[in-house]
Amino acid sequence: MALRTATLWSRVVRHRFKLIDGSVVLLLTCLAAFYSFEADIFADDEAASSVKTVTLEEVMVIAAVFCAGLTVYAMRRLREAKRETARRIAAEREARTLALHDALTGLPNRRSFDQALQVAIASPPRSRGSHALLMMDLNGFKRINDLYGHQAGDELLTQVGGRLSRSVRDGDLVARLGGDEFAVLAMHTAGAESAT
């Protein structure tokens, strides 16, 4: 419980002081100064009659203004914390996607393929079945890049990746290993013929 309280307190303290925070504090200070009251402890009866008395309504107004300002401040901080959390989650999701997918084709990259291959090796195929691994590269890809430019080569890689993705089963993995190399990992195939 102490760790959770410390974490919550560090989240509250960590936020930056902004201009609106200063205006809320200034407003509350002005209200407190306006309704300030003095008390003379050793005042006699004649002096006591000249001291301004504060009614319960005035105290309630001061408390209500203070609570309203504090509530606005807390709600604004909560909104900022939610926005920051959502931004960090989105950034983490994007970083994970970039780490496991090829930026050009959108296919899983070598790291993602290696992880899936380790899972396939660790899990035995169904009875009378097998896993299949198909490796391919594009013949003459360097020539296409040299003749038509890298933009045409990138478009070719994107088209090949899209066609491979549409031609495999739902559970199969198509990955771009790098350059013009692609791989298909077909899990639980019925045999060598069904893998093609």
Annotated active-site residue 180? The verdict is: yes
- SS3 category, 130: strand
d(C-alpha 164, C-alpha 113), whole Å: 15
List CB contacts of 132: < 8 A, sequence separation 6 or more: 184, 185, 186, 189, 192, 195
CB burial of 177-193 (b: ≥16 within 10 Å; e: otherwise) equals: beebebbbbbbbbeeee
Per-residue buried b or exposed e for 4-33, using 16+ beta carbons within 10 Å of the residue's own CB: eeeeeeeeeeeeeeeeeeeebeeebeeeee
d(CA 116, CA 110): 10
Helix axes 56-100, 110-122, angle to 10 degrees: 80
* Enzyme catalytic residues: 180
